Structure 1
Amino acid sequence: MSEVKLLFAGPMGAGKTTAIRAISEVEPIATEVANTDLVESAKLETTVAMDYGQLTLDNGDTLRLYGSPGQRRFDFMWRLLADGALGIVVLLDNSRADPLADLEHFVVAFAPMIAAGRVVIAPGRLETHPSPSLDDYLARLDALGHFVPVVPADVRRRDDVLRVLDVLFEQIELAEETESVDGDGDEWLRFVQQARAT
């Protein structure tokens, strides 16, 4: 049995804690405190270190689910939490003032993982805030020189979060197939295929 780390990232209020809670089989551990940055977000609490949950696959392997703090002043934590992660889900909130600027910020922060094909972008709240559209996200990513899947998600819904992870696993599988230089590719490929099967 093996353990693999996945990271949920995104700005404050994008739903990282909620997404982990939607799929975790254990009560998530959260480091939430009262939000003192009401300019950034009107939510009452915010994550200051990380969230943590886990999901066991059918073969006994464990996905360790980490959520990063969303405030930019904690961006040093993003790199620490991304270290050793198999992949990253960047959650975005379409109700924020400038979600495309948020996208750019996280694309820069996780550029190495994007280059490795291990990131998926998941905008939320599109039903109440349809702009920017999915095409707008794809156009901005293209302008930045990146091809990254964009999958809409309501992070309160388990099926939506699992669909985002399925797309992430497809990305990782493709990356493993094209890179498999280090000899660990086959083991990772088996893990990703098993994860997709759950």
Structure 2
Amino acid sequence: MIEHKIIITGSMGAGKTTAIASVSEIEPMSTDVMNTDNSVDKEKTTVAFDYGEVSLSAEERLRIYGTPGQERFSFMWKVLSKGALGLIILVDDTRKDPFKDLSIYLENFSQLIEETACVVCISKTNKNNVARVNEFARYLASQGVICPVVPADVREKQDVLFVLELLLTQLYA
């Protein structure tokens, strides 16, 4: 069995746990605890990682790890990044400054982005807002990062599978 490790990261509440749960073929593993951060209206938050699996074929499988979103758990970001084939950054477009949020993950995952493939996925947004997608693409370019930017509803299995496929296409193109 060939296994590939994919990382999903982003701010707390962006939808990492939900994205993994929507596509995982096994019962997703989660390390959620009661949220004590009042800046986000959310009952629970991930403190170590989330985990799920998706089969690509009978011989090939994706192991998907979701990072904790809070910077105080950033030590886990480096641990989880080891051996990763690619990175998906989820950006919650309803947050006060999603570009500032994105910059945190671009900086902390810069080495992984340089060495592998990356997709920026805008969650909690109007999926038909091409202008907003273009804003994110321009921001990424201003930061020296060229990668696909797509809106997605991470509750929808097909949306998350599309983002995973887009990531894999970069790797195997």
- TM superposition score category, shorter chain reference: over 0.9
Q: Which residue of 2 aligns with 1:74?
A: 73
Aligned-residue identity in percent: 44
**Greater Rg over alpha carbons, structure:** 1
Stretch moving more, 69-78 or 131-140: 131-140
Following the alignment from structure 2 to structure 1, what is the Cα–Cα distance between the partners of residues 130 and 144? 22
Query: For residue 122 of structure 1, what is the amino acid of its counterpart?
Result: C
Matched, 1:116 2:115: yes
SS of the aligned residue for 2:140 comes to: helix
2:116–2:171 contact (8 Å) kept in structure 1: yes
1:12–1:71 contact (8 Å) kept in structure 2: yes
Matched, 1:56 2:55: yes
Which runs of 5 or more residues in structure 2 are unaligned?
A: none
Which runs of 5 or more residues in structure 1 are unaligned?
A: 175-198
1:57 Cα deviation (Å)?
A: 2.2
1:94–1:132 contact (8 Å) kept in structure 2: no
Q: Deviations over 1:78-136 (max 9, x none)?
A: 111011011111111001110000111111111112223411100111129x6981111
For 1:27-106, what aligned pairs fall within 5 Å after superposition? 27-39=27-39, 41-106=40-105
Following the alignment from structure 2 to structure 1, what is the Cα–Cα distance between the partners of residues 142 and 9? 22
SS of the aligned residue for 1:145 comes to: coil
Q: Deviations over 1:132-166 (max 9, x none)?
A: 81111111111111111101110000000011011
Q: Deviations over 1:63-92 (max 9, x none)?
A: 111110000111111111011011111111
Q: Which residue of 2 aligns with 1:138?
A: 137
Looking at secondary structure, tell me which structure has more strand per residue: 2
Following the alignment from structure 1 to structure 2, what is the Cα–Cα distance between the partners of residues 138 and 6? 22
Q: Which residue of 2 aligns with 1:195?
A: none
Q: Which residue of 1 aligns with 2:166?
A: 167
Higher RCO structure, 1 or 2 (CA under 8 Å, sep 6+):
2
Q: Which residue of 2 aligns with 1:17?
A: 17
Q: What is the root-mean-square deviation of aligned Cα atoms in Å? A: 1.6
SS of the aligned residue for 1:119 comes to: strand
Following the alignment from structure 1 to structure 2, what is the Cα–Cα distance between the partners of residues 6 and 91? 13
1:89–1:122 contact (8 Å) kept in structure 2: yes
Residues 50 and 65 (structure 1), Cα distance of their counterparts in 2 relative to 1, 3 Å cut: same
